[in-house]
Amino acid sequence: MSFRSPFPDVEIPALSVYDFLFGSIAEADLGRPALIEGASGAVTDYRALIGQIDAIAGALAARGVGVGDVVGLLSPNVPAFASVFHGILRAGATATTINALYTAEDIAKQLEDSKATFLFTVSPLLPHAKEAAAKVGIADDHLVVLDGAEGHPSLRDLLAENAPAPEVSFDPATHLAVLPYSSGTTGRPKGVMLTHTNLVANVCQINPRMGIGADDKVLAVLPFFHIYGMTVLLNAALYNRASLVTMPKFDLPEFLRIVAEQKCTYVFIAPPVAVALAKHPLVDQFDLSSVHTVFSGAAPLDKELGGAVSARLGCKIRQGYGMSEMSPVSHAIPFDGDDVPLDSVGPTIANMECKLVDPGTLEEVAYPTGEGVSEPGELWCKGPNVMFGYLGNPQATAETLDADGFLHTGDIATVDAAGNVTIVDRLKELIKYKGYQVPPAELEALLLTHPQIADAAVVGVLDDEGEEVPKAFVVRQPNAELTEDEVIEFVAERVSPHKKVRRVQFIDIVPKSAAGKILRKDLRTPTA
């Protein structure tokens, strides 16, 4: 048994991402604004965007970069991100998008693991990018600084070459378009192999229910480097010829100013932004009446909080669920789903099949028919958007993707008789801080390098606001006088800001199974 999407299957064309998005663009759409830089209001229309994509693909091809090569992209949301991202794919290369908050060491790890030979960045991130590039042997002429920097090619230089876009041929069903990094259900970040068809499929699957139209001005504050921003903004919004209004980072006054000034209509967020929208007094000082929908994903949205946002802004509020390994969306409350409970993540999207499996018995739970809600079980999903596997890691792939093609999400969910799925818990070790992934294994390894720490375990706990934060349980070496603040500082000095440990508790022993696996459930308590 399993349950399928309540929606009819949609056709998924066997096209590259570029051909799917721009191959048959109407002449009339070429002059529409594709990207609007929020801070300056500068507009890039579809004609200019496509021209830039082609020129970047041409410049890469002229440097011998194409099918089989991996190109790193380390940048916050600036309009040129779209040109570079799609330029890399257009050249036949694979883009590995890197979290702009990463330390030089994190960047180097991703470049090394993905075997990237070329890197794009922006000048504020150049010190980190340069250090990482040097570690993996990427030379200065292969490190493009979009806004320009002495000794590096700039975006302007590449565009000025006016090199024709190459003729590339590959099978979209097997050729890797992107390699985002995700820790999945366990361990350190791994390269998630997503094909062109995976990305095309996810846009086709969500499109009929998302309600993004050509007249929408979509606020693009969610990072393009994360799979949520990549698929929903860079791909789905551009597919619909909407305008993306870019913001490089979240800042409430600037966010409100841009939404009001640009008259944004569709705002994609992660739950922490909902807190600000529901509660901050500043919100009342701006005219946000242009917004018809706020859509939240990447972490659980509190039902009351979502309701408060909807009431305050006078707009629809929607929630979706996804995972990098599913390109990412598998569930979303549709634009016309006013009756779908907001604490659910909505029905399964088209072309997908799911199971809820009891993690103890590996038996599927019984699905309700007339009314009621199922027992909880681990959510397993299958569909054309599910990844090819983890790069160079067949063992992790086999642990996550089963022989029948179901991806084991590591999330615990229930389903109601109407097919709406509710995420109720997390089985996997992953922590989400403000929607960003924090892999505990990485923090535990770091903590163990401290001479006064004998053992450590890191889990997610809820703070007073109901937001998940990383908490370290630390076993001190005998006679060590280490304090909680010292532990917090030790980690903070070595990791990017979202991975900081924000709570510390000293314990005598880390609970472990006979096989030595940390028993995280025994450490999670209802409050921080």
Shortest distance (Å) from residue 406 CB to ligand 4UV? 14
Based on CB atoms, which residue is closest to ligand 4UV, 159 or 333?
333
Distance separating alpha carbons of residues 433 and 502, to the nearest angstrom: 10
- The H or E element that residue 117 is part of is strand 116-121
Sole window of 41-49, 294-302, 458-466, 479-487 interacting with ligand 4UV (rule: CB under 6 A):
294-302
Q: Does 125 bind ligand 4UV (CB under 6 A)?
A: no
Shortest distance (Å) from residue 105 CB to ligand 4UV? 20
The radius of gyration computed from the CA coordinates of the chain, to the nearest angstrom, equals 23
SS3 of 361-406: CCCECCCCCCCCECCCEEEEEECCCCCCEECCCHHHHHHHECCCCC
Q: According to CB under 6 A, which residues from 263 to 292 bind ligand 4UV?
A: none
Based on CB atoms, which residue is closest to ligand 4UV, 52 or 437?
437
Q: Does 332 bind ligand 4UV (CB under 6 A)?
A: yes
Q: Using CB under 6 A, pick the residue from 204, 234, 323, 401 that binds ligand 4UV.
A: 323
Shortest distance (Å) from residue 464 CB to ligand 4UV? 20
Q: Does 437 bind ligand 4UV (CB under 6 A)?
A: yes
Shortest distance (Å) from residue 35 CB to ligand 4UV? 20
Q: Does 182 bind ligand 4UV (CB under 6 A)?
A: yes
Q: Does 242 bind ligand 4UV (CB under 6 A)?
A: no
Shortest distance (Å) from residue 232 CB to ligand 4UV? 5
Burial class for 287, CB neighbours closer than 10 Å (0-12, 13-18, 19+): exposed
CA 10 to chain centre: 24
Shortest distance (Å) from residue 192 CB to ligand 4UV? 8
- Tally of CB atoms within 10 A around 358: 14
Burial class for 43, CB neighbours closer than 10 Å (0-12, 13-18, 19+): middle
Burial class for 482, CB neighbours closer than 10 Å (0-12, 13-18, 19+): middle
Interface with ligand 4UV (CB under 6 A), residue total 25
The three-state secondary structure class of 357 is: strand
Shortest distance (Å) from residue 124 CB to ligand 4UV? 24
Q: Does 340 bind ligand 4UV (CB under 6 A)?
A: no
Q: Using CB under 6 A, pick the residue from 227, 256, 288, 381 that binds ligand 4UV.
A: 227
Q: Using CB under 6 A, pick the residue from 56, 60, 298, 518 that binds ligand 4UV.
A: 298
Strand order in the sheet with 43-45: 43-45, 33-37, 243-246, 217-220, 266-269, 293-296, 316-322, 329-332
Sole window of 259-267, 285-293, 295-303, 517-525 interacting with ligand 4UV (rule: CB under 6 A):
295-303
Q: Using CB under 6 A, pick the residue from 69, 216, 302, 411 that binds ligand 4UV.
A: 411
Shortest distance (Å) from residue 332 CB to ligand 4UV? 6
- Tally of CB atoms within 10 A around 390: 25
Based on CB atoms, which residue is closest to ligand 4UV, 76 or 180?
180
Based on CB atoms, which residue is closest to ligand 4UV, 166 or 223?
223
φ, ψ for residue 289, nearest 5 deg: -70, -15
Q: Does 3 bind ligand 4UV (CB under 6 A)?
A: no
Q: Using CB under 6 A, pick the residue from 18, 22, 321, 380 that binds ligand 4UV.
A: 321
Distance separating alpha carbons of residues 139 and 130, to the nearest angstrom: 9
Shortest distance (Å) from residue 284 CB to ligand 4UV? 27
Q: Are 440 and 457 in contact (CB under 8 A)?
A: yes
Q: Does 324 bind ligand 4UV (CB under 6 A)?
A: yes
- Tally of CB atoms within 10 A around 178: 27
Based on CB atoms, which residue is closest to ligand 4UV, 118 or 224?
224
Burial class for 363, CB neighbours closer than 10 Å (0-12, 13-18, 19+): exposed
Q: Are 389 and 397 in contact (CB under 8 A)?
A: yes
Q: Does 438 bind ligand 4UV (CB under 6 A)?
A: no
Based on CB atoms, which residue is closest to ligand 4UV, 56 or 199?
199
| For the chain, counts of helices (H) and of strands (E) | 16, 26
Q: Does 432 bind ligand 4UV (CB under 6 A)?
A: yes
φ, ψ for residue 202, nearest 5 deg: -65, -35
Shortest distance (Å) from residue 5 CB to ligand 4UV? 15
Shortest distance (Å) from residue 342 CB to ligand 4UV? 11
Q: Does 204 bind ligand 4UV (CB under 6 A)?
A: no
Q: Terminal CA-to-CA distance of the chain, rounded, Å?
A: 39
> Which residues sit at the interface with ligand 4UV, rule CB under 6 A?
182, 227-228, 232, 297-300, 319-324, 328-329, 332, 345, 409-411, 423, 426, 432, 437
